[in-house]
Amino acid sequence: MPLVIGLTGSIASGKSTVARTMVEMGAVHCDADPLVHRMYDPGKPAFDRIVEIFGRDIIGPDGYIDRRKLGAKTFGKPEEMGKLTRAIGNIGAEVKGVIDKWRAELPDDAVAVMEAVNLIEAGYSAWCECTWLVTTERQKAIDRVMARNQFTLEEATQRVDGQRPWELRAPASDHVFHNDGTLEELVAEVRRVYQETYDLYRAGKLPPRKYDAWNEKRMAEMRAQGITPGQRRQ
């Protein structure tokens, strides 16, 4: 059975670098963001739903939804983000479809990585053998977003502060990469953890997922509040 690793972290934390290093070591990779973006291409049902909710001004000159304009209306605004998620549709089905295909088609000794910002909260970690979290200092993330996306300080701060704090994700993560040092240090750590995880998995000695204990605690808290437990697939 292929080893499927879930990779998560906030914007500009260094997920892409971690994923790229894993691919260089032989892993198959899927970034959930482009997968989701294709769900609201022009002509798709989600396109019309999103435009109806957020206005035609989010449509760019090329006829596609301008994600920068859409992000300005949703990042850091839970209610608006909820509207967007519901308008897009069944994101979980798209993600699980990719993972199911990996399990059906990849050789048993393969490694695959599913990269998703909401991997833990949406429950996608349940479909992976382990979850890895990447984090970095707030100001470094803001600086990276400004340089990479050419955002203003206000735009970059909105994106970074609109993300879920890494401390809340850490209890559900089997390894946390603190990307505050050099690129070389991060790559070396990824290579080491990748090989250790692979060897443990092939030997049948991979530790239990921390996500399971985290999710059980979350379910218990929901029951205590009178909320019917159920994993959220977004």
Decide if 23 is inside a domain.
Answer: yes
Q: Which helix (H) or strand (E) holds 119?
A: none
Task: Classify residue 65 as exposed, middle or buried by CB count within 10 Å of its CB (0-12, 13-18, 19+).
Answer: buried
Q: Is the sign of the CA dihedral 181, 34, 163, 233 positive or negative?
A: negative
Number of domains in the chain: 1
Q: Give CA–CA dist 66/49, Å, rounded.
A: 15
Question: What tens-digit pLDDT sequence spans the chain (234 residues)?
Answer: 999 999 999 999 999 999 999 999 999 999 999 999 999 999 999 999 999 999 999 999 999 999 989 988 998 788 998 999 999 999 999 999 999 999 999 999 999 999 999 999 999 999 999 999 999 999 999 999 999 988 999 989 988 988 889 999 999 999 999 999 999 999 999 999 999 999 999 999 999 999 999 999 998 988 888 886 554 444
Decide if 198 is inside a domain.
Answer: yes
Instruction: Fill in the amino acid letter for 223.
Output: R
Does the model's pTM come out above 0.85?
yes
| Token reading at 158 | 């909105």
Decide if 232 is inside a domain.
Answer: no
Residue 200's region, left for phi above 0, alpha for psi from -120 to 50, else beta, is alpha
In the sheet that holds 28-31, the strands lie side by side as: 28-31, 111-115, 3-9, 130-135, 175-178
- What CATH number corresponds to the domain at position 66? 3.40.50.300
Decide if 166 is inside a domain.
Answer: yes
Cα 56 to Cα 18, 28, 80, 173, 193, distances in angstroms: 36, 37, 16, 39, 46
Residue that the structure tokens 């090989």 belong to:
195
Decide if 11 is inside a domain.
Answer: yes
Decide if 233 is inside a domain.
Answer: no
Residue 210 half-sphere exposure, CB side, CA atoms within 13 Å? 15
Domain region containing 50: 3-224
pLDDT, tens only, 177-187: 999 999 999 99
Decide if 229 is inside a domain.
Answer: no
Decide if 231 is inside a domain.
Answer: no
